[in-house]
Amino acid sequence: MTKIPLVALISGRGSNLKAIIDANDPLIEIRAVISNRPDAKGLIYAQENGIPTEVLDHKQFATRKSFDTHLQTSIDHYQPKLIVLAGFMRILSSEFVAHYQGRLINIHPSLLPAFKGLNTHQQALEAGVKEHGASVHFVTEDLDAGPVIIQASVPVLPDDDSESLGARVLIEEHRIYPQAIHWFAEKHLF
């Protein structure tokens, strides 16, 4: 059985990365985890699981294009078939996105197309919606606008704040992201 080589990009605690690693999918091989932040806790979990890690601190680059060029070189070294944004908090250039067209996916904490960008849980509460959730989608040039692969919803409860709502959404993120990756590996998405 041929495994799909994958590179994950993170910026923080790496909870979605942990869910992907813990899924132990026999169809994928995580070749590397790359972070734009040296203090990203997800790097530690990857290292504990024997996965190579790299740090490419975006603050060390004069321009977004320069950072993206170096990031692309780092990623391509591992020859991945799939690049997974797992809490990677950088908007990527159109050239970068075009290079990985059809094999770059992201998890977003809302039921897209609703609530793009940041602070989605607060946006949902302020909008008074009854349901909120998470979406895994292909990355395109337009922020949080690529084709959706899978979504999961949670009810918005009367006493929710952004933290309690976010905690329930995160549980669903951890469930659907490994599922979307598995579908990609099975070639169900193309």
Instruction: Report how far residue 188's alpha carbon sits from residue 94's, in angstroms, rounded to the nearest whole number.
Output: 26
Look at the block and give the residue holding tokens 């292909």. Answer: 138
Active-site residue (options: 58, 77, 108, 182): 108
Structural domain range at position 147: 4-185
Residue 29 Ramachandran class (φ > 0 left, ψ -120 to 50 alpha, else beta): beta
108 is catalytic: yes
Domain presence at residue 47 = yes
Domain presence at residue 41 = yes
Domain presence at residue 149 = yes
* pTM: predicted TM-score of the whole model, two decimal places: 0.96
Q: Which of 60, 71, 63 is nearest to 96 (CA)?
A: 71
* Number of domains present in the structure of the chain: 1
What's the CATH code of the domain at 100? Answer: 3.40.50.170
Domain presence at residue 126 = yes
Q: For each of the chain's 190 residues, which pLDDT tens digit applies?
A: 789 999 999 999 999 999 999 999 999 999 999 999 999 999 999 999 999 999 999 999 999 999 999 999 999 999 999 999 999 999 999 999 999 999 999 999 999 999 999 999 999 999 999 999 999 999 999 999 999 999 999 999 999 999 999 999 999 999 999 999 999 999 887 6
Question: Is residue 131 exposed (0-12), middle (13-18) or buried (19+ Cβ within 10 Å)?
Answer: exposed
